[in-house]
Every structure is written in C-alpha cells, then in structure tokens.
Amino acid sequence: MRHKLVKVKNIISLSSAFQESKHSAAAVPRMGLLYGFTGIGKTTATAWLVNKENGIYVRATAVWSLSAMLQDISIELSIDPPSLPAKMLTAVKEQIKLSRRPLFIDEADYLFHHPKMLQVARDIHDLTELPVWLIGIDGVEKKIANRKIVAGRISQWVKFQPCDLEDTRLLAKELCEIDIHEDLLVKLHELSNGSIRLITVGLSRVEAFTKAQRWQSITPGQWSGRPFFLSRQM
C-alpha cells in the first residue's frame, strides 16, 4: 500500500472551506467546524490540513480543563505557559498573532464539559482574527447551534459524508499496488458503508492477500468471500 493522502470529495470540501475562512473579508468571522461520524476520515484530513497550513493542532480529552487546554496550545506554540489562565490566554493570543498560524481543536465535543473552554476558543478567534476550527463527531453542530455566541462566528462548516463508490475507486487506484476487480471494489464499498477507515483496512487486506499469492490482480472469485475487516461482517 502506498502511504499518501487521497483527495476524496470530503478532503476537497474541507480544503475549499478552510481557504474561504482564511481569506474572508475582515468583517466575516473565521471560525470553522468539521464534523461527521467516527471513522469517516476527519482526523486524517485535519492532520493533512494542519501540515499544509502550518497550523496549531491540539486534541481535547475527557480530562481537559481550561488550564490544560491553554497549556496544550502553549506547548504547540513552544512557549512557556504562565501559571494563571488569564495570563496563559494573553501569551497564546500574542504568539498566535505573531506566527499567523490557524488553530485546530480536535475532539471538540469535550469543550462542552466546561463552557469556559468553548468561550476561550471563541476568545482566541476574536483576539487574533485568525481561523479557529473545531473538529467533532456528528451532533456537535447541534450543540454549537445552541451556543449563539459561538454559532454566530462559524462562517464555514463541513460535514464529512460517507465515501461514495467513486471515492472507493480513487482510494484503490491511489493506494494499491495491485489491480482490484470492479465487482470486488463494489462489495467492499457496500460492506464498509462508506467508512474511509474500513475501506482502507479492506484494501490493505486484499492487497496483502494478493501479493502473498504473487498475483498482480484479484477478482471476487479469488478473494472467495474472505472478510475485509472485523466489524460489520462477523
């Protein structure tokens, strides 16, 4: 398998939306939201975008507090955080403005455990006037919609959709070093329910089996009903 990011439709949508937030007019807020079901490729896409844009990436956790949030951002900015949250916010704000780097907060659902964390994400956006993107699971958009002070600042939002068959074909073409028969790709796509994670696992297993047989290509008959992945088939 080749190690590369494949620009499926979700990636293209995210890239376009981010550029809109990055280059929006001064009067337009620059917060963004990426959301979708687990296994649909949000974290991989975010990692690609962070690398491309020299962004600041932090991942919220179940034990995050306001101080932990600001400390993690400070670490990514390579600054020694002050002890008080207010001073940490000031230091973070100044360094982000200086570096002109966008901020990405993954697992943003955890921000709702402590309302001040969501408010600080908004504050960082307001004080720096730079893009701040939140990444969360499907349903986070409804939680944000109920927080008008934040919802009003979300100018771009992208819901990652399940991969369609065209995406699955593209993944096979770009990632695999063998040829996979169309009917086998269709079967993999159907069983994956469009999960890019499961599609990738399935492609990896098909390729490994094909190479073990010293074949250059594989058909459904040769695959002979083997499982593509553990879930949804057993």
- Same domain flag for 60 and 107: yes
**Same domain as 147, residue 83:** yes
Evaluate if residue 3 carries a pLDDT over 70.
yes
Residue 234 lies in a domain: no
Residues 137 and 186 in one domain: no
**With contact defined as beta carbons under 8 Å apart, do 201 and 193 qualify?**
no
Q: What is the pTM of this model?
A: 0.91
Residue 231 has pLDDT above 80, yes or no: no
pLDDT in the model for residue 232: 54
Residues 153 and 169 in one domain: no
| Chosen domain end from 122, 144, 159 | 159
In a domain, 230, yes or no: no
- pLDDT of 233 higher than 80: no
- At 115 the pLDDT is 87
d(CA 192, CA 202) in angstroms, rounded, equals 8
Has residue 229 been placed in a domain?
no
Domain identity same for 147 and 212: no
In terms of domains, do 60 and 77 share one? yes
The pLDDT-based confidence of 193 (bands split at 50, 70, 90) is very high
Task: Provide the residue range defining the domain that includes 145.
Answer: 9-159
The predicted structure's pLDDT at residue 234: 39
3 CB contacts (<8 Å, ≥6 apart)? none
In a domain, 140, yes or no: yes
Which residue, of 159, 184, 210, is where some domain finishes? 159
**4 in a structural domain:** no
Domain total in the chain: 2
pLDDT of 31 higher than 90: yes
61 and 124 part of one domain = yes
The stretch 88-114 carries a mean pLDDT of 96
Residue 44: the pLDDT is 94
Do residues 95 and 211 share a domain?
A: no
Contact between residue 1 and residue 204 where contact means Cβ atoms under 8 Å apart: yes
Pair 153, 174 in one domain:
no
Domain contains 2: no
- 213 and 101 within one domain: no
- Among the candidates 141, 159, 177, a domain finishes at 159
Is the same domain home to 95 and 210? Answer: no
Neighbouring-strand partners of residue 31:
132, 154
CATH assignment at residue 71: 3.40.50.300
For the segment 78-95, the average pLDDT, to the nearest whole number, is 94
Of 50, 40, 61, nearest to 18 by C-alpha is 50
